[in-house]
Amino acid sequence: MATVTLRSLYKSYDETEVVHGIDLQVAHHEFVVLVGPSGCGKSTTLRMIAGLEDITRGEIWIDDTLVNELEPQHRDIAMVFQDYALYPHMSVYQNMAFSLQYRGYDKAEIRRRVTEAADVLSISELLERRPKQLSGGQRQRVAMGRAMVRDPKVFLFDEPLSNLDAKLRVSMRGEIKKLHRRVATTSIYVTHDQVEAMTLADRIVIMNEGNIEQIGAPDEVYSKPQSVFVAGFVGSPTMNLLPAELSAADDGLIVNLDRDIRLPVPPAKRSQYADFVGRRVVFGLRPENILWSPGEPNDGAAVIRRTADEIEPLGSDTLVFFSVGDREVIGRLPPNSVRRIGETVTMLPEMDAMHLFDPASGKAI
C-alpha cells in the first residue's frame, strides 16, 4: 500500500491556471474523495496523479518516490474511468488480463489474479462475455476488476458511476465500499456528487475554482463547514444561507433576519460571535434543524412563522419552502405537518445548530 502526497501542486493551460497550489496527504489504505462542481480542478488533479496530465509546478510523491517525471505505467497506480474504456472485441477475461499480459506475467498467474478479482466482484459467470452483452453496472465491475488484477499501490477513480442510472449508482456505491474494505488499497475518487462523496469517503476534499476549500471526515464537513461555499454545497437540500445582522440585547445576542424574525444566539456561542456585534453576517441553518411546532411555542423561544410557498412530500418527511425577505428557505418537517400551500406554519429553529459566516471573506466565524 502507499501514501500519496501533493505539495504546492499547480496546473496551467497557457495563461489559465486551473489548480492553484494545493497540498494534500492521503494515508495508507485511506479512501479520499475529491468533490466539487464542474471546472473546480478535481479531475485535473487526479489526472496529474495518474501521470496523464503534465504538472506545471509542485510535487507528487507516492511513498518516498517523487513521480513527477515518471510515466503512468511506472507509477504503480490503476485508474477506473468514467466511460469504462473496455475493448469491445475482447471477452471480459481478456479485458481483465490484458494489462498483465502486456507486463509479461505467466498464464497461471494471470488466471489466478483474474479469477480472484472476478470472484470478489461477483462477475465470475461473465468472463466469456463481450462488453456489449453486459449492463452498465457489469461493465463498471469489469473496469474495476481490470484495475484490481494489477494489485497497484493506489486506485484512482474518475467519476466511475456518472453514466449509471440513479438506482444502479446507489447499488454500485455499496459495491465500491465493500470492495475497499476487502482490498484496502489507498484510493482517490473524483465525483461531482456530494451524496456519493459523503457515502464513500474516509475523508472528503472539497474543491472550488482550483483550490481546496475544506478537508475532513464526512460528518465534519457536514456539521462544521468552514466556508459559505462548503455550507451551500454539502447536504441535500443544502444549508439555508440568509443575510442577517448580529445585534446585542440585554440578555445576549440576537440574529436579525427580518423585521419580525429575531433569533436569540445560544449562550454557548456568544463569545464566538462577540466581535461581529453590529455587523452584517450570513446566517446558516440546515433544513432538518427547522422544527415544526404543533402548538404555541414557549415565551422566549426562537420562532419563525411563515406561509408555505411550496410543499414537496417525500414520504418520510416533507420539504416546506417559505420566504424570508427575498430568500427562499427550506424546512424538513414531519410528513403531513403541512398539508397545503398557503398554510401558515410555526417553526422552531434549532439555534444550537446555527452557523455564522463573514460575508466579506466567506469564511465561518
pLDDT single digits (tens) 146-157: 988 988 999 999
Q: What is the band of 309 on the pLDDT scale with cuts at 50, 70, 90?
A: very high
Q: Is the pLDDT of residue 302 over 90?
A: no
Q: What is the model's pLDDT at position 148?
A: 87
Contact 157, 80 (CB under 8 A): yes
Q: Is the pLDDT of residue 175 over 90?
A: no
Q: What is residue 165's three-state secondary structure? A: coil
Q: What is the model's pLDDT at position 1?
A: 63
Domains and CATH numbers, the chain: 4-233 (3.40.50.300), 253-357 (2.40.50.140)
More confident residue, 141 or 332: 332
Q: Once rounded to an integer, what is the mean pLDDT over residues 275-304?
A: 88
Q: Once rounded to an integer, what is the mean pLDDT over residues 32-36?
A: 96
Q: What is the model's pLDDT at position 156?
A: 94
Pairwise CA distance, residues 154 & 135, whole Å:
27
Grid cell, residue 299, equals 415565551
DSSP single-letter state for residue 180: H
pLDDT single digits (tens) 335-357: 988 889 999 999 999 999 999 99
Pairwise CA distance, residues 357 & 364, whole Å:
4
| Sequence-separated contacts (24+) of 257-265 with Cβ below 8 Å | 257/283, 257/324, 257/325, 258/324, 258/325, 260/305, 261/304, 261/324, 263/302, 263/304, 263/349, 263/351, 263/354, 264/300, 264/302, 264/351, 265/351, 265/354
Q: Once rounded to an integer, what is the mean pLDDT over residues 164-176?
A: 83
The mean predicted confidence, pLDDT, of the chain is 92
Q: Once rounded to an integer, what is the mean pLDDT over residues 162-174?
A: 82
Q: Once rounded to an integer, what is the mean pLDDT over residues 1-18?
A: 93
Q: Is the pLDDT of residue 297 over 90?
A: no
Pairwise CA distance, residues 232 & 176, whole Å:
27
Q: What is the band of 300 on the pLDDT scale with cuts at 50, 70, 90?
A: low
Pairwise CA distance, residues 281 & 278, whole Å:
9
Q: Once rounded to an integer, what is the mean pLDDT over residues 315-330?
A: 93
Grid cell, residue 179, equals 470492495
